[in-house]
Structure 1
Amino acid sequence: MRQYRIKYVCTLYDILVLCFILWWISSSFIFNSRVISNEQLIYSYTLSVVYVATRIFRSSISVQRRLYICIAFLGSIEAIIGWGQYWNIIESNHPLFSITGTFTNPGPYGAFLGIALLIQIHFAWHKYIAKQYMSLFMLLIVGLLTGSMFIASFSRAAWVALLIAVSFFFFLFQKKRYRYAGLLLLILFLFSSPFLYQLKKQSADGRLFIWRVCTELIQSKPYTGGGASSFAARYMYAQADFLEKHPNHEYAAKATNNIYAFNEYLRIACEYGVPGILLYVTIWLHGIYCKATYCDRLRKLLLIYLAVFSLFSYTFQVLPLAVLCIVLGAFQNNNSKFTFYAFPMRYLVIMLLLMTIIAWSGTRSSQYEKKEILFTAKQLYT
């Protein structure tokens, strides 16, 4: 019988990702004996499969181009849905916010619109350079539709991320006049920061308080962290301890039930300690630095956008944004000396299935030991 073989070229990026996964396992199951829900296990497994599949088929330029076009198109559809919610034609997915698109919160919704808008800007620029004015006109109309709803989403994190990404868009050009434009945008960002803070001051103060409590979590386990999904389980206890020690803190009134760090870097530091955050930041920097096989400038801009957005939100806890981060990072040239070949496809499938069964059995066996803790946490966060 014919064996279908795949060619997987290992790069330094793959090694960094593998090291992070191994530390994820060590921090979660060896140092902390964490309990991972079936949903979280499936979520992590899905991201792993997406990464492996993207690394195998990343050389298909047509697939990459179609992906960017598809995201730009979906962004315009999301904008139309958002306007339908604005005019009360379509029902929102959140009881407190009128505009969420197909998402459950305006924050991730604004982030996705910003991604689509950045792609539309990139394509429009190339149509302008190529003097294809009809295509440029159509892209401008789509961009106005997406951009107007992007502003209406009121996602300040997405606004900041797009402004910085567009600044780097001009910095990546060789001509100085474009770099001056990027510098002007960065100056605009610096001057607009106080306005953005005052725009939703209570929300900003709430996040500052959460970040302050995060420092307590990091200090409690600086080297091993608390393990996977430990932030939601530990935060409320850490917040209670912090308020007991600092009852008159200026942000004490902002305390509330919370399971999000609103900063991916702080969450990683809380859950995986110093080694985890170092690996995490290195993966981001290497993903931005290394070259892709197609549209490298656009890929870098999107990664910069998502990296900045992650400073103020929970990017990897929203599946579409997490998948996009994984895919963009995996789009790169195979320029490493670390290579290996001749993996029969069925062996790869068997290996992934075995990893899933082992992880699932390990988490299920410890669930009964942690039943009382899980019940308490459920009562606390409902």
Structure 2
Amino acid sequence: MKNNKYYKYQLGIIVLSGIVESIIAILQRFSFLESNHSLFSVTGTFANPGPLGGFLAICLVVSVGLYIGRNSFGLIGTLVCLIIFVGLLLTDSRAGWIAAMSGILFLLKNKIHLSWKRKCMLSMVLLFVCVVMYLHKKVSADGRLLIWYCTMDMIADKPFLGYGSNGWIANYMYYQAKFFEEHPNSDYAMVADNAAYPYNEFLWIWTEYGIIGLVLVVGLIYWGIAYKSHNRYAYTFRATLVCFTVFACFSYPFHLLLSDTPQRMDIAAQNSFMNDPPEKALEVMEEAAKIIPTCELFCDMGDTYRKLNQYKKAEQCYQLATNMIPSRITPKYKLFVLYKDSGDSLSAVKIANEIMTMKIKIEGSHALKMKGLVRMYLLEH
């Protein structure tokens, strides 16, 4: 009996937190409160809407679980679920929506007995919903598909032992560069960017800790979901774990608990590039490239090698940056300037033609200026 009261209290705290976060999200949506991100109107108390979506998905599953246990929702129960549902809807988090649906279906599976025909119909409806969610933000979804594909390439190279702690972020961009080097005309070029997360925590665990780490984590989660208990609230906890697991397949909840060492190293490299002598800056940037390689970092490294008259290394850095994110014009332009200034007009013309025909994700004034300078060069050659 005491355990029931304790678990009910814990679940109640989760629901109350969900109500508070949902109200904050609603107020942010209508501009009564500011969000915590310049690009998103709704973040709750989180840094962006992604984690908020996962949290509200869990809160919605818990609130549904509590009132299913009573066999009656009532006015208050309906209102609570509605508020959290609206908050989840405002996050625009597809991972959160899918996770919430999964948890609620887990709660209902012993409450509603369906014939095989209705199960087939339900499966078709869920498949349709997933397709709609994919098309809702197709560019974002394709970006994650690219990350998963390159991550699987990483796993294929070290499936058993993995790359160790922070191994994914230290190696991923090299694999993305390799992908575009091998597939220069890929449609994924327009959705590629610097990747900070694999958007699938199980692929991440496999990449860093190998198959042994993955089996241990999956086994622990399976034990938690399959564990039988006489506690009346145990089923709700299991549904919450289902919700969290599904969310982890499309987002990065584990990463919210991790150290920010790679990001701090990236900032240190940027500061060193702007303020330190070239030799010192190169030391810092080369160390950063082992921890968090990015397109911008290799552009800066290329610029630094140019200052030291090491043109071959500068070329390699610019080329690697170009392969990492093919839709960025800056690395290609830097490569063009390098060839032009070093008197390699043949290579300069070749890369200039590539710049004039390339697809650019964001064609702002900076990109237009670079294209204008390239066009003038081509007219003269």
Q: Is 1:159 equivalent to 2:119 in the alignment?
A: no
Letter of the structure 2 residue corresponding to residue 146 of structure 1: I
Question: CA contact under 8 A between 1:229 and 1:271: conserved in structure 2?
Answer: yes
Aligned partner of 2:363 in structure 1 is none
1:60 deviation in Å? 4.3
1:177 deviation in Å? 5.0
CA distance in 2, matches of 1:300, 1:308: 13
Question: CA contact under 8 A between 1:262 and 1:312: conserved in structure 2?
Answer: yes
Alignment of 1:329-340 (within 5 A): none
Letter of the structure 1 residue corresponding to residue 95 of structure 2: A
Structure 1 counterpart of 2:154, from 197, 213, 217: 217
1:184 deviation in Å? 5.4
Aligned partner of 1:364 in structure 2 is none
Question: CA contact under 8 A between 1:171 and 1:178: conserved in structure 2?
Answer: no
Aligned partner of 1:72 in structure 2 is 15
1:185 deviation in Å? 4.4
| Structure 1 residues 108 and 186: alpha-carbon distance in aligned structure 2, compared to 1, 3 A threshold | farther
Question: CA contact under 8 A between 1:292 and 1:299: conserved in structure 2?
Answer: no
Residue deviations 1:269-294 (CA, integer Å, cap 9, x gap): 11111222122211111111112463
Structure 2 counterpart of 1:266, from 203, 209, 216: 203
Partner-residue secondary structure (3-state), 2:31: coil
Aligned partner of 1:36 in structure 2 is none
Letter of the structure 2 residue corresponding to residue 306 of structure 1: F
In structure 2, list runs of 5 or more residues that go unmatched: 259-282, 298-381
Structure 2 counterpart of 1:318, from 248, 251, 256: 256
Residue deviations 1:216-267 (CA, integer Å, cap 9, x gap): 1111211110011211111112211221122122312221111200001111
Aligned partner of 1:119 in structure 2 is 62
Q: Is 1:110 equivalent to 2:110 in the alignment?
A: no
Question: CA contact under 8 A between 1:111 and 1:309: conserved in structure 2?
Answer: yes
1:88 deviation in Å? 1.1
Aligned partner of 2:225 in structure 1 is 288
Letter of the structure 1 residue corresponding to residue 57 of structure 2: G
| Structure 1 residues 62 and 207: alpha-carbon distance in aligned structure 2, compared to 1, 3 A threshold | same
Shift >6 Å, 4+ stretches:
178-183
Residue deviations 1:13-40 (CA, integer Å, cap 9, x gap): xxxxxxxxxxxxxxxxxxxxxxxxxxxx
Q: Is 1:143 equivalent to 2:77 in the alignment?
A: no
Letter of the structure 2 residue corresponding to residue 114 of structure 1: A
1:172 deviation in Å? 2.6
Alignment of 1:357-368 (within 5 A): none
| Structure 1 residues 374 and 68: alpha-carbon distance in aligned structure 2, compared to 1, 3 A threshold | farther
Residue deviations 1:152-181 (CA, integer Å, cap 9, x gap): 1111111111112222222133x6259988
Say which is worse superposed, 160-169 or 103-112, in terms of deviation.
160-169
Aligned partner of 1:168 in structure 2 is 106
Question: CA contact under 8 A between 1:119 and 1:298: conserved in structure 2?
Answer: yes
Partner-residue secondary structure (3-state), 2:187: coil
Alignment of 1:337-352 (within 5 A): none
Structure 2 counterpart of 1:84, from 27, 41, 50: 27
TM (normalized to structure 2)? 0.65
CA distance in 2, matches of 1:98, 1:178: 43
CA distance in 1, matches of 2:13, 2:115: 28
Structure showing greater Rg: 2
Q: Is 1:375 equivalent to 2:268 in the alignment?
A: no
- Percent identity among equivalent residues? 33
1:375 deviation in Å? 2.8
1:70 deviation in Å? 0.2
Residue deviations 1:29-86 (CA, integer Å, cap 9, x gap): xxxxxxxxxxxxxxxxxxxxxxxxxxxxxx9443322111000000000011001111
Count residues in correspondence: 269
Residue deviations 1:135-154 (CA, integer Å, cap 9, x gap): x2112112111111211111
Aligned partner of 1:188 in structure 2 is 125
| Structure 1 residues 214 and 85: alpha-carbon distance in aligned structure 2, compared to 1, 3 A threshold | same
Q: Is 1:307 equivalent to 2:245 in the alignment?
A: yes
1:373 deviation in Å? 4.9
Structure 2 counterpart of 1:298, from 236, 239, 250: 236
Question: CA contact under 8 A between 1:82 and 1:149: conserved in structure 2?
Answer: yes
Question: CA contact under 8 A between 1:164 and 1:185: conserved in structure 2?
Answer: no
| Structure 1 residues 178 and 251: alpha-carbon distance in aligned structure 2, compared to 1, 3 A threshold | same
Alignment of 1:26-105 (within 5 A): 60-105=3-48
Letter of the structure 2 residue corresponding to residue 281 of structure 1: V
Aligned partner of 1:205 in structure 2 is 142
CA distance in 2, matches of 1:186, 1:249: 32
Letter of the structure 2 residue corresponding to residue 231 of structure 1: W
Structure possessing the higher relative contact order (Cα contacts under 8 Å, 6 or more residues apart): 1
Q: Is 1:242 equivalent to 2:179 in the alignment?
A: yes
CA distance in 2, matches of 1:371, 1:110: 37
Coordinate RMSD, CA, aligned: 2.6
Letter of the structure 2 residue corresponding to residue 202 of structure 1: V
| Structure 1 residues 110 and 170: alpha-carbon distance in aligned structure 2, compared to 1, 3 A threshold | same
CA distance in 2, matches of 1:120, 1:181: 26
TM (normalized to structure 1)? 0.65
Letter of the structure 1 residue corresponding to residue 66 of structure 2: F
Question: CA contact under 8 A between 1:235 and 1:259: conserved in structure 2?
Answer: no
Partner-residue secondary structure (3-state), 1:83: helix
